[in-house]
């Protein structure tokens, strides 16, 4: 028995024509359509996952101090109070800590300046 298989545009906006097929071909075409629908759903999920991953990979922060620090004890945590950039929200200016919100390679730069009245005196800073 011949069946009419309706053909529509890819965006489902309008019917194009009717293709006459027998029962065996109809069953095969329905299985192919089901597989295509599954692949479309998987592709949509992969695109959503990729977008989520891309959004999470943008991590950067820049912070500084609005005041001088003097006579710091060993192990003193410096909390940078002027946060200029905090993409990914990894830096906490309440705790003075950075927690990497995504796996990756991170590069940190620290600049320390201090006045020196004796050019022969060494100043040590440990991180």
**Residues with pLDDT less than 70, the chain:** 12, 52-57, 115-116, 118-127
**Domain map of the chain by residue range?**
2-56, 59-127
Kindly state the helix (H) or strand (E) to which residue 4 belongs, with its residue range.
Answer: strand 2-8
Question: What is the reported pTM?
Answer: 0.46
Strands 15-22 and 60-64, sheet pairing: unpaired
> What is the per-residue pLDDT for 99?
92
Distance CA 26, CA 20 (A): 9
**CA 73, 76, 80, 85 torsion-angle sign:** positive
């Amino acid at each position: 028995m011949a069946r009419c298989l309706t053909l529509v545009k890819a965006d489902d906006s309008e019917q194009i024509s009717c293709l006459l097929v027998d029962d065996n071909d109809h069953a095969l075409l329905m299985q192919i359509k089901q597989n295509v629908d599954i692949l479309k759903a998987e592709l949509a999920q992969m695109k959503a996952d990729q977008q989520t991953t891309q959004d999470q990979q943008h991590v950067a922060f820049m912070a500084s101090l609005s005041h001088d620090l003097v006579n710091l004890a060993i192990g003193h945590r410096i909390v940078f109070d002027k946060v200029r950039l905090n993409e990914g929200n990894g830096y906490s200016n309440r705790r003075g800590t950075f927690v990497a919100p995504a796996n990756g390679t991170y590069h940190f730069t620290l600049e320390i300046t201090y006045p020196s009245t004796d050019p022969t005196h060494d100043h040590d800073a440990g991180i």
